Amino acid sequence: MPQRTLGNLLKKRRQQLSLTRQALADRLGVNPGHVGYLEAGQRKPSLALLERLADTLDLHGPRLFLLAYPEAQSLLKSRDNRKPQRSAWQRLAGNRALRAKERISPAELKVLKEISRLGRVSSERRLLLVLRAIRLAFEGDWKQW
């Protein structure tokens, strides 16, 4: 049984679709020799070419990626096995003692949640800095009421 490689898969699928190397190359916008190199495992396709291969040959893109770049498998596995990291807002919202110490109202917590959706906030400390800046900006306005 042949080893599962990107080249073997591409060649098999090309033949199933009754495509010559020239015909596949034309659809991909590459030289027919490049298709030969890919099938022989002598070259790795770029990410853009991988996407075109997946579309043209009706193959699963992530599978093609892992066949082309097997070294990425360990990176993907290590991320999948970790617990998803909680956002700074989730950590702040879950820290009752810190919320009490900083006297964060439910309305302020909602504002901080919306702010955290705008972009990645790396720590609870940075969220508190934003909260303090908002409080400072509105300090004079609140006194008028």
* Domain spans, the chain: 6-80, 88-144
Rounding to the nearest 10 degrees, give the CA dihedral for residues 44, 49, 51, 53: -80
At residue 39, the pLDDT reads: 95
CB count, 10 Å around CB of 10?
22
List C-alpha distances in Å: 66 to 28, 44, 46: 20, 11, 13
At residue 72, the pLDDT reads: 85
Give me the DSSP letters along 47-92: HHHHHHHHHHHT--HHHHHHHH-TTHHHHHHHHHHSPPPPPHHHHH
Q: How many CA atoms lie within 13 A of 53 on its CB side?
A: 29
Percent with pLDDT over 70 in the chain = 88
Is the pLDDT at 117 greater than 60? The verdict is yes
Mean pLDDT within 87-96: 91
Cα–Cα distance measured from residue 49 to residue 35, given in angstroms and rounded to the nearest whole number: 11
Class for the domain spanning 6-80 = mainly alpha
pLDDT digits (tens, 9 = 90+) for 12-32: 999 999 999 999 999 999 999
pLDDT digits (tens, 9 = 90+) for 27-82: 999 999 999 999 999 999 999 999 999 999 999 999 999 999 988 887 776 554 55
Helix (DSSP H) and strand (DSSP E) numbers for the chain: 10, 0
pTM value > 0.75:
no
Residue-averaged pLDDT of the chain: 87
